[in-house]
Structure 1
């Protein structure tokens, strides 16, 4: 699989995982929103703002963000719509890039005014890692409040969208030797 193919798959996974997290937050919102709920939505909003900042950076255009958070907690309905649009943008963007564009370095400015330089691949990798970190943070809040959180693993995503990957038990498996004790 090429780097581009892997990134497309990872951004489709991100969209899938975002949907699960949004659904979990929506159920919590119906039950009894509280300070922890607001914290969870704020964390998700922060991750989304960073996604949007890098949308601008990838296109070499200026963005209007001076912070990676907002003063007010957004409404989940509005935030979820914006997250879906951004997730779709990333997948479509990746589908039209070529290898040269992926590896091209781009100069940009962080919200604190510090200059930065990363390749598009590095920026896209950052978005995946950053989003996963914060989904985990929100998932932990959901677990504390509801005793469960949505599934959020790349393997879970791959096996849900491509059930044929499951195969028959024992097919194509090898046994690894045990790790020696120290």
Structure 2
């Protein structure tokens, strides 16, 4: 995969997250149980993103599990996700093709050893987030709220209107 494609995918991820958090802020108070489930799911994504950020940067792993014991507020999680999305956008902007192929050794939170290329780690972060945004979309559907159209094509055409042609 090209560096340009990865940069675009991280732009898409940040855009999709922003759209989803904007909708979650509108969940009616009578659906607090479902909102809590959405927050827990997205917190898991955030924690996983931060763990892989540490693997990519050679920093100590910031979490020992794939979710936190305490549930953050929606506003706190949104701020944390925005900051992490910004880190990935900056990281992707500095990538070169040779760096993508570098293989890194790490440990999963369960203690098992892992070995992945930087490109594989970045693709995991992208696909993992998309999978769980879909889970949240299903939860929103169960309370009668339509999830945002989390589509890469929508992102591309919205961020680059010239792609629509004549």
> What TM-score range do you get, normalising by the shorter chain?
over 0.9
What is the Cα deviation at residue 108 of structure 1?
Answer: 0.5
TM-score, with normalisation over the residues of structure 2? 0.96
CA contact (8 A) 1:106 1:119 kept: yes
Q: Please say which structure displays the higher CA radius of gyration.
A: 1
- The reply on whether 1:134 has 2:132 as its aligned counterpart is yes
CA contact (8 A) 2:31 2:143 kept: no
Stretches of structure 2 that go unaligned for 5 or more consecutive residues are none
Give, in whole Å, the separation in 2 of the partners of 1:147 and 1:36.
11
Matched ranges for 1:1-182 at <5 A = 3-28=2-27, 30-168=28-166
What is the Cα deviation at residue 74 of structure 1?
Answer: 1.1
Give, in whole Å, the separation in 1 of the partners of 2:30 and 2:25.
10
What is the Cα deviation at residue 36 of structure 1?
Answer: 1.2
Cα distance per residue 1:95-115 (max 9 Å; x no partner): 112222111000000000001
Give, in whole Å, the separation in 2 of the partners of 1:155 and 1:135.
16
The secondary structure found in structure 2 opposite 1:32 is helix
Count of residue correspondences: 166
CA contact (8 A) 2:38 2:139 kept: yes
What is the Cα deviation at residue 119 of structure 1?
Answer: 0.4
The secondary structure found in structure 2 opposite 1:34 is helix
Give, in whole Å, the separation in 2 of the partners of 1:138 and 1:51.
17
Stretches of structure 1 that go unaligned for 5 or more consecutive residues are 169-182
What is the Cα deviation at residue 32 of structure 1?
Answer: 3.2
The secondary structure found in structure 1 opposite 2:143 is helix
CA contact (8 A) 1:24 1:142 kept: no
Q: Which runs of 4+ in 1 moved over 2 A?
A: 30-33
CA contact (8 A) 1:104 1:120 kept: yes
Give, in whole Å, the separation in 1 of the partners of 2:121 and 2:59.
15
